[in-house]
Amino acid sequence: MRDLVYPDGTAVLTGAASGIGEALAHGLARRGSHLVLLDRDAERLDAVVAALRAAHPGRRVDSHLVDLADAEATARVVEAVRAAHPRIRLVVNNAGVALGGRFDQVTLEEFGWVVDINFRAVVQVTHALLPALKAEPGSHLVNVSSLFGLIAPPGQAAYAASKFAVRGFTEALRHELAADGVGVTCVHPGGIRTRIAQSARVGSGVDPDEYETSRRKFEKLLTIDPARAADTILDGVRRRRGRVLIGWSATLPDLVARLLPGSYGRLLALGARRRPAVSPQEGM
């Protein structure tokens, strides 16, 4: 498959108001893409759109406010996007949320909220926009999984379940869509410096003080600039890479999980002795 051509193509991006999503929006604009941006944070989304239009007056930048936890609202927005853009060159499912707490410390509602946004919305957006991708020669789909789509540590049952699901879904689509000429990439970020730790929910059964202490310590591990992460993703997508891992905090656990698939938990337990077990995950 030939390299992806960014200039003059339309890119649809979820979770575009901050973090990796905001950096991806700017990276895509610099590469010549027209943008359709989705997020639930109106103020931040408006600021991103204004900055993009000021920096790249030749790019079309549309935006839609939507909470991906709401399946009906998501359906209305993606159908509007498809109607306005019958041919789409790139779809990036980047939006994601985190939830701290062991499985026995979270409610089913809290667990379902994570799965809805991190996985169901990915499936829903992809299903709705796939005809537009197939109509555009040389198109590409990107789904952002996680470091926790490679390993599953304690305290992240909901998040890991959703991100492993994204990984499996994306790998199946890569094989299914090859004959249609649609490229597919699964992204596994490591410790990206974003707001996901700050905005993570805390399980109802988690002690708030314990979680806050853990969050502050864990945030110190989030060292990778979102702009660097975005460039790594977009360069990998341009070359049609099936997987993009960002940072040693993703590549090393991936190697360990491959070498010790049934026993890497022992290494996680050793690491947990040096920091609290309950912690929000790396950034989107």
Beta strand pairing call for 61-65 and 243-246: unpaired
The residues, ordered by sequence, that sit 6+ positions from 78 with a Cβ below 8 Å of its Cβ are 124, 125, 128, 129
Closest C-alpha to 122, from 170, 81, 171, 178: 170
The phi-psi region of residue 155 (left if phi > 0; otherwise alpha if psi is between -120 and 50; otherwise beta) is: left
- Closest to 67 (Cα-Cα) out of 124, 129, 144: 124
What residues does 12 pair with on adjacent strands?
Answer: 36, 91
User: Minimal CA–CA distance to 116: which of 168, 169, 170, 162?
Assistant: 162
Q: Is 211 a catalytic residue?
A: no
Q: Which of 6, 159, 211, 264 is catalytic?
A: 159
Active site residues: 159
